Amino acid sequence: MNESMQPGGVTPGNVTLVGAGPGDPELLTLKAIRAIRAASVLLVDDLVSDGVLRYARRSARIVHVGKRGGCASTPQAFIEKLMAAEALKGERVVRLKGGDPFVFGRGGEEMQHLRAQGIAVSVVNGITSGLAAATSLDVPLTHRDHAHGVILVTGHAKESGASPDWPTLAAAAAQGLTLVIYMGVAQAASLQAGLLQALPAQTPIAVVQHASQPQQRHATSTLGDLAGLIEREQLGSPAIILVGEVLRGLQARDALPESLQMGVSRVA
């Protein structure tokens, strides 16, 4: 039992892992807003947009702990220590994470670490960026004419681990599953080569950068052109790659004059 625990085994402070959604503050849940308003300390990922932080109290301490791929980042161990230390001091800590805390957000690791120290932890869902990316293009990920499910997968392997088995995933996708690939743009060439082993080159794809944010851009093409498209259009992180038959027709729609596209955002 931790020294700062009160009788009953609960520490004075607590931590809430809050999903900040894909960026548009209007996509926050009411629960997320309530937790943000109640926080005395906020630890904020760099994928969290400033609009979300508007809901924090003036008196709250905001600590940016970004760790976007390629940029200088705060080590995960430090973030976990800081959260624990603040909670043990009695603070109401909110850990704000982009999208949903439990979708590639390391929320599970953080929860385990905190609970091991007797710290009360709760989790608030957020809209994960993969869902927001598809909806921003008016694409239903499980349109029943084309798909009976969705695979959320990371294109970025854990430092130590192997990368996803793209040919196997492609075989699953060929049976009617839409692929929603996070953190994939940097690995687009190898991902494309792997997927082409079991999916036709003409399979529709889309890449959506900054989904739900004012600077959102997207581009559509086919699997055989994935890496080329990303390079030509200079699409970078944070972006979602969507692959599957549910995207059919999107490329033709993007080719229409903008006035006929019903408000769909396009690569400039």
Q: Which of 5, 31, 46, 67 is catalytic?
A: 67
Q: Is 1 marked active-site? A: no
Q: Which of 91, 100 has the CB closer to ligand SAH?
A: 100
Q: Which of 88, 239 has the CB closer to ligand SAH?
A: 239
Q: Is 183 in the site for ligand SAH (CB under 6 A)?
A: yes
H helices, E strands: number in the chain = 9, 10
Strands (E), the chain: 14-19, 41-44, 61-64, 92-97, 120-124, 149-154, 177-182, 204-209, 217-222, 239-243
Q: Is 97 marked active-site? A: no
Q: Which of 24, 45, 100, 254 is catalytic?
A: 45
Q: 210: helix, coil or strand?
A: coil
Which of 73, 74, 237, 251 forms a contact with ligand SAH (CB under 6 A)?
237
C-alpha 262 chain-centroid distance? 26
Q: Which of 11, 220 has the CB closer to ligand SAH?
A: 220
Q: Is 23 in the site for ligand SAH (CB under 6 A)?
A: yes
Which of 13, 22, 204, 244 forms a contact with ligand SAH (CB under 6 A)?
22
Which of 210, 217, 218, 221 forms a contact with ligand SAH (CB under 6 A)?
210
Q: 96: helix, coil or strand?
A: strand
List, edge to edge, every strand of the sheet that includes 41-44. Answer: 61-64, 41-44, 92-97, 14-19, 120-124
Residue 218 beta carbon to ligand SAH: minimum distance, rounded to whole angstroms: 9
Q: Is 164 in the site for ligand SAH (CB under 6 A)?
A: no
- 131 conformational bin, left if phi > 0, alpha if psi -120 to 50, beta if neither: alpha
Residue 67 beta carbon to ligand SAH: minimum distance, rounded to whole angstroms: 10
61-64 and 41-44 as β-strands: parallel, antiparallel, unpaired?
parallel
Q: Is 262 marked active-site? A: no
Q: Is 121 in the site for ligand SAH (CB under 6 A)?
A: no
Interaction residues for ligand SAH, span 71-100 (CB under 6 A):
97-100
List, edge to edge, every strand of the sheet that includes 217-222. Answer: 149-154, 177-182, 239-243, 204-209, 217-222
Q: Is 238 in the site for ligand SAH (CB under 6 A)?
A: yes
- 52 conformational bin, left if phi > 0, alpha if psi -120 to 50, beta if neither: alpha
C-alpha 134 chain-centroid distance? 13
Supply the residues annotated as catalytic. 45, 67, 183
Write out the residues near ligand SAH by the rule CB under 6 A.
22-23, 47, 97-100, 103-105, 128-129, 133, 182-183, 208-213, 237-240
